Amino acid sequence: MRTTFIFLLVFVTVGQSYSQFVRNVSAVGTTAAPFLEIEVGSRAMGMGGAFAAVADDATAIYWNPAGLSRLNRNEMTVTHIEWLADINFDFVGGIFYMGDYGVIGMSLTSLNTADMVVRTVDEPEGTGEMFSVGSMALGLSYARNLTDRFSIGFNTKYIQEKVWHMTASSFAVDFGTLFITHFNDMKIGMTISNFGMDMMLSGRDVMVYHDIDPTIMGNNELTEANLVTDKWPLPLAFRAGIAMDVLKNRTNRLTIATDAVHPNDNTEYLNLGIEYGFNDLLYLRGGYSSLLKRDSEEGLTFGSGIRGNIGGVVLFKVDYAFANFDRLGGTHRISVGIEF
């Protein structure tokens, strides 16, 4: 236990020192597919995003795939987020329990905007054309218990981004571990997310006409050529978290959790969260997201949830969360899930 706490303390301390004294500027805006960093699940976000060690529902596909191995029922979940600037974000995930063979899962993440007017310098009011922006990730997950207290899990996913006639795609993997200690069943979770290939936009919008040698008269001035676009890495992140039930009886349960996150495109930060459950029916949650992150607009979060049985076989879950983004406003999240 002492070693675990020392590790987490060193992780945060060294990470913050690195951010302050090695990085002169943050690396914000230097990665592709930033939609992969939008947190999934109203329950998790109600707890400020401190969920790497909790990871006990289908949204563990995002937070820590190792947590899937601790689920012993099939589950489906859908999350919709009214994201900033009228952007829609949706996540659909399902897990299937296979007994001693572990748990498999599938997921689809989507971000899209409404059609927008194409504007140019010469035609600022619009050319009469419309364009849209969209991103998606299709994932396959697997998790298994190696012992009664230690689990591993991973995701493989195909990622695609599209802007008008341009697309970029990549493959990535996530890997997670989950350990349940003997100290009041406190859980320790660690994940590495979005480890994969760089992305590069390609498509007909990079096609140009080029005069190979403008000093020569009479040559072809409309030679077709393609502009070369840069490659950008995925938003790689290392996350370590701890969670524990500080109160647990037949009627009440109180869970506290914290995550330390080290991304490759920003400074390190902490997520803090708490969840109170009454009679396994009503839940209240609160948290603080992105504590210690440089120039963060994020902050307080809160949420609630209800559960109910249908026919004594299907468990129905509805969760809501609100996250404050200071000057950017706030985001509302709704998740619906079933266990069967």
Mean pLDDT along residues 26-42:
90
Whether 268 has a pLDDT exceeding 70, the answer reads yes
Tell me the pLDDT band of 25, cut-offs 50, 70 and 90: low
Give the E-state strand segments of 60-132 in sequence order.
Answer: 75-82, 88-97, 103-112, 116-117, 130-131
248 falls in which pLDDT band (50, 70, 90)?
A: very high
Interval 202-216 mean pLDDT: 83
pLDDT band at 6 (very low <50, low <70, confident <90, very high): very low
C-alpha 202/C-alpha 199 separation (Å) is 10
Instruction: Tell me the pLDDT band of 8, cut-offs 50, 70 and 90.
Output: very low
Q: Does the pLDDT of residue 2 top 70, yes or no?
A: no
- Residue 31's contacts (CB-CB under 8 Å, 6 or more residues apart) are 232, 233, 234, 235, 236, 264, 265
pLDDT in the model for residue 256 = 97
Q: Report the pLDDT value the prediction gives residue 312, as an integer from 0 to 100.
A: 76
Mean pLDDT, the chain, as a whole number?
Answer: 89
More reliable by pLDDT, 213 or 286: 286
Q: What is the mean pLDDT of residues 284-297?
A: 92
If you average pLDDT over residues 322-330, what whole number do you get? 88
- The pLDDT value given to residue 253: 96
Secondary structure (DSSP) of 265-326:
SS--EEEEEEEEEETTTEEEEEEEEEET-TT----EEEEEEEEEEETTTEEEEEEEEEEE-G
pLDDT at site 20: 45
pLDDT value of position 182: 92
> What is the DSSP secondary-structure string of 162-230?
EETTEEEEEEEEEEEEEEE-SSTT-EEEEEEEEEE--B--EEGGGEEEE-S-TTSTTS-S-EEEEPPPP
More confident residue, 82 or 335: 335
- pLDDT recorded at residue 285: 97
Could you state, in order of their start, the residue ranges of all structural domains in the chain?
A: 2-195+233-339, 199-230
What are the tokens at 202? 């390609």
Contact 262, 270 (CB under 8 A): no
Q: Is the pLDDT of residue 18 over 60?
A: no
Per-residue confidence (pLDDT) for residue 85, from 0 to 100: 83
Percent share of the chain, pLDDT over 90: 68
Checking if the pLDDT of 76 tops 50, the result is yes
pLDDT value, residue 3: 45
Q: 178 φ, ψ to 5°?
A: -140, 130
Residue 177 has pLDDT above 80, yes or no: yes
Q: Which of 53-67, 114-128, 163-177, 250-264 has the lowest mean pLDDT?
A: 114-128
Residues 118-167: tens digit of each pLDDT: 998 888 888 888 888 999 999 999 999 999 999 999 999 999 999 988 99
Q: Which of 60-74, 220-234, 252-266 has the lowest mean pLDDT?
A: 220-234
Distance CA 31, CA 265 (A): 7
Angle at 243 between CA 237 and CA 247, to 5 degrees: 160
**CATH code, residues 2-195+233-339:** 2.40.160.60
pLDDT band at 62 (very low <50, low <70, confident <90, very high): very high
